[in-house]
Amino acid sequence: MNRKRTPKLNTRVTPARWVAFRTLQDFRKGQKFIDEILHDYADSSRLSREDRALSHQLVYGVLRNLYRLDFWIDRMSSKGIGSLPESIVDALRLGLFQLAFLDRIPAHAVVDESVRLCDAISMGPIKGLVNAILRRFPGRRDALEADIERDPRQVAIQTSHPDWLIDWANHLFGKDRAEAWLRHNNTPPRLHLAPITSHFPQAPTPSRSEREAKAIRRLLEAIGEGEAKTDGETVTWEGGLPVAELGVIRSGQAYVQDPAARQAVKLLEPKPGETVYDLCSAPGGKTLQIADLLEAQGKLVSVDSNVNRLKQVSENLSRCGFDWVETVCRDLTRDWEEANQSADAVLVDAPCTGLGTLRRKVDLRYRLKPSDVEELAKKGLSLLENASRLVRPGGRLVFSTCTLTLEENEETVRRFLSKHSKEWNLVREIKSPAWLFSDTEDDQSEVETDGSYCALLSRAN
């Protein structure tokens, strides 16, 4: 059981920077999920809305630029970065990120705060070095960047991606497109809100499209059109309020879902009156999307192997008024003995390397290993096999991931089809973002989406 992180705030350092520093320390010690660490620290420290936003910007900014920051530190330290205490490296990362990328914070304030941070962590004797490095940095930045341009690992340093991931991207996409993807991963993602449409009465506006348009208009009005815009299906929000505090989220009028993640359910096309299963469903975005389309007509079963994450699904369903949806906790890699081929439609959103979500999960690139691809591909195939046993003759199945590897996506589906060629057919595949996989010109909204894969399979009668 995870214990709540309760860092003692140090009055010498502003709360946002102290929380950011402690979060980076835990990340360095091997903590897996940076968003959970940061959330726990922000909650236990009772950060204000503004300090939460700043601590998030600092932590995510450091991780998006980690290799570049470390290169600067290494070059400006007489004995190299390896000679410095790890806590001092974290303090320098925070200071250099602010000097290089946050124009609104005066340089003298950054230096002063960093020196006080050294005192707060009992590293006072080294604060002179920290002070010197930060004060010298603005004058040396151009020379440091020139050094990066000449370095054999230039792309890795500039984009902060491991070498193996760069090699993989170059092989799959080609050098130019791979580099565009690497740089894309360091751009802050947009937040997309999907409206709940089924709660609108059908009588005044009988068509689904009319009710969807009405739901979008209500979201825009509730959020404020100055902070939001729409692609006709979701609302992109660019305000500074934490998403959990948005009234439309708390009231169940909307949920967070990237357009790429919506592709799988759109491909499945669940219809009112059908029996539908959503497998590996947590945190529940696709379950909510399916429930909204079924309009409380039919049966929807949301299944996940993690009881705590399934609880989150239940909470989201309740918040959005979908208490009629059934939730089940079970290990989906094992045979489902009671599977009786009764489902009209099944969605399996397989665990994966998540390479399509690196903009959002900024620490993921540092946690992944090349061997994870093969291991997760095997798991995905096992899940696909078991999911297929739920589908009735003539029914349909969608296999989806939020990654980009051939092994976890197309090759997994091909292995399944080669084994069940008489029973199953591939209807369609969708890979996002399309600009990575084809030469077609895409609009800006498509470029802004996450990466994903989904395949629609049909079962013979």
> Mind listing the pLDDT tens digit for each residue in 72-81?
999 999 999 9
The answer to whether residue 235 sits within a structural domain is yes
The answer to whether residue 137 sits within a structural domain is yes
Rounded to whole angstroms, the Cα distance separating 358 from 439 reads: 22
Whether 433 and 390 share a structural domain? yes
- Out of 257, 284, 313, a domain closes at 257
Whether 248 and 281 share a structural domain? no
- Residue 163 structure tokens: 């070498």
Whether 204 and 323 share a structural domain? no
Peptide bond into 433 cis (omega under 30): yes
The answer to whether residue 171 sits within a structural domain is no
The answer to whether residue 40 sits within a structural domain is yes
The answer to whether residue 167 sits within a structural domain is no
Where are the alpha helices (H) located in 151-194, listed in sequence order? Answer: 154-159, 163-173, 175-184
Whether 77 and 115 share a structural domain? yes
Whether 290 and 222 share a structural domain? no
The answer to whether residue 326 sits within a structural domain is yes
Write out the H or E segment, with its range, that includes residue 26. Answer: helix 15-28
Amino acid at residue number 401: T
- Below-50 pLDDT ranges, the chain: 1-3, 6, 443-445
Q: What integer pLDDT is reported at residue 447 of this predicted model?
A: 58
Burial 380-412 (b: 16+ CB within 10 A, else e): bbbbbbbbbebbbeebbbbbbbbbbbebbbeeb
Q: What is the value of pTM for the model shown?
A: 0.91
- Out of 222, 257, 292, a domain closes at 257
Whether 125 and 207 share a structural domain? no
Q: What integer pLDDT is reported at residue 445 of this predicted model?
A: 47
Is there a catalytic annotation at residue 402?
yes
The total domain count for the chain is: 3
The answer to whether residue 292 sits within a structural domain is yes
Whether 253 and 266 share a structural domain? no
Q: What is the CATH number of the domain that holds 406?
A: 3.40.50.150
Q: What is the CATH number of the domain that holds 50?
A: 1.10.940.10
List CB contacts of 173: < 8 A, sequence separation 6 or more: 181, 436
List CB contacts of 300: < 8 A, sequence separation 6 or more: 270, 276, 277, 278, 287, 290, 291, 294, 324, 325, 326
Rounded to whole angstroms, the Cα distance separating 453 from 405 reads: 9
Which of 254, 147, 156 lies closest to 196 in space, CA to CA?
Answer: 254
Helix axis angle for 66-76 and 86-101, nearest 10°, is 110
Whether 282 and 266 share a structural domain? yes
The answer to whether residue 182 sits within a structural domain is no
Which of 84, 83, 87, 65 lies closest to 141 in space, CA to CA?
Answer: 65
Rounded to whole angstroms, the Cα distance separating 186 from 365 reads: 11
Question: DSSP string of 397-461?
Answer: EEEEES---TTTTHHHHHHHHHHSTTTEEEEEEEEESGGGT-S----HHHHTS--EEEEEEEE--
Whether 305 and 448 share a structural domain? yes
Range of the domain at 212: 190-257
Q: Which of 118, 280, 320, 402 is catalytic?
A: 402
Burial 289-305 (b: 16+ CB within 10 A, else e): bbbbbbbeebbbbbbbb
**What share of residues in the chain are helix, strand, coil (percent, to 5)?**
50, 15, 35
Whether 331 and 409 share a structural domain? yes
- Out of 144, 160, 176, a domain closes at 160
Whether 30 and 136 share a structural domain? yes
Rounded to whole angstroms, the Cα distance separating 428 from 49 reads: 44
pLDDT digits (tens, 9 = 90+) for 426-436: 999 999 998 89
Whether 68 and 22 share a structural domain? yes
